[in-house]
Amino acid sequence: MVGGGIGGLSAAFALSRLGLKVRVLERAKEFGEVGAGLQIAPNCTRILDDYGLLEEAKSRGVVPDRMVMRDAVDGEELTALDLRDLEREYGFPYMVIHRSDLHALLLEACRDAGVELCTEQGVVAYGQDADKATVTTESGTVHEAAVVIAADGLHSVARTLLVDDEPVSSAYVAYRGTVAVAEVDRPIDLSEVVVYVGPRCHFVHYGLRGGALLNQVAVFQSPKALAGQEDWGTPDELDAAFAGTTDIVRQSLPHMWRDKWWRMYDRDPIDTWVQGRIALLGDAAHPPLQYMAQGAIMAIEDGWVLAEHAKRLRGPDGGIDWAATLSAYEAVRPEHCRRVLTTAREWGELWHLDGFERVQRNALLRARDIDDYSFTDWIYGPTALFPEDEPPMFEPVPLSSADRITDEPVHMTA
């Protein structure tokens, strides 16, 4: 396994449960994660439950009651999900957890399972023959195995074996920040995950670590990026982007980490993830924009699907038909992840509308039935193991239908 992030560790743990010898090669000096919160939907908590890790994950995170979408300009509530009802609908909870806490949980699980964890092992080359796959590290060390799973992220070296492409800039940038709830000088309902959607910007907040921390994310389109400047996403752009938003959002900005920010990239979907004994996993295969909150989840799903097929295709002697396993993995995961990547792009556009389109969007969201799960069934249900198990996508609702839904013309009111 190349890469010791959430995707690499979760896949390593899944394979180790089959009694396989698994080695994880991590480029950094130690295993760890940067960032802040993660949203973990039922399609992932279902897998954590299968791994026996769900209760511990819940104890380190928060299981909120509602997810609420508000307009970032006037603060009006647009729509919501009852997350307790969502749990009844899909059988597993929606939770939020600090990225480092989930990573630490998976790292502990790997250690307990006997996974070999190797640091300072930056991989620079891949190779294979009929019997094995190999990776070569920066130090010249060669590791070999029956298969190599490359979970080496957005800038994956292994991906270059399959496709000649580059990350795609969205011209959006994310600022993050966690702050002790006791230090927050405004009322906060920690039972809610809240997203404020606004013109070319949005803001998210929710509780972490049992409600002791507040996680905040501010995302905006960078004018400097659109102008082709190299120094983009700077704090002055952050302040300007949210100048027209509601007081609650603007009062939150001083709590953001202002000395670092994350430029938002994805890659175009690809159908081929496997070359012989080498396979991509996680962001190496499908780095998404963050709007669907499915990036880490897709990586965890990848590892679960891979291990389930390895278990299914294990022979009486304990050997695994890796060619068939990787083929089955590749047959189902690229299409699901393509859907998530393309929907994330579209969802981001919807969140950031301005002018009359913003008014139309708000009218449609307000008209939504809170018990309507037609837009989530395709993603929150059980992870498909075979292409025929992949549920159908939702039917998109055009903005122009706002008049029809409200039975009267939609006018500019804000």
Q: Would you please indicate which residues are annotated as catalytic (active-site) residues?
A: 206
User: Do 41 and 135 contact (CB within 8 A), yes or no?
Assistant: no
φ, ψ (nearest 5 deg) of residue 20: -80, 150
> Is-contact 58 116, C-beta < 8 A?
no
The distance in angstroms from the start CA to the end CA of the chain is 52
Contact 69, 192 (CB under 8 A): no
Say how far apart CA 111 and CA 13 lie, in whole Å.
9
Q: What stretch of H or E contains 203?
A: strand 201-208
Smallest CA-to-CA distance from 93 within 196, 194, 193 is with: 193
Distances in Å between the Cα of 209 and the Cα atoms of 5, 35, 37, 218, 393 are 20, 14, 10, 20, 34
- Tokens at residue 328, please? 């089955």
What is the C-alpha separation between 329 and 255, in angstroms, rounded? 42
What span, in angstroms and rounded, lies between the C-alpha atoms of 147 and 129? 11
From the list 82, 228, 170, 89, the residue with the least C-alpha distance to 351 is 170
Euclidean distance between CA atoms 212 and 179, whole angstroms:
9
Q: Are strands 213-221 and 95-98 parallel, antiparallel or unpaired?
A: unpaired
Cβ 151 vs Cβ 281: under 8 Å: yes
Q: Which residue has the tokens 């000088």?
A: 185
The single residue listed with the structure tokens 């959002």 is 249
Residues in the chain: 414
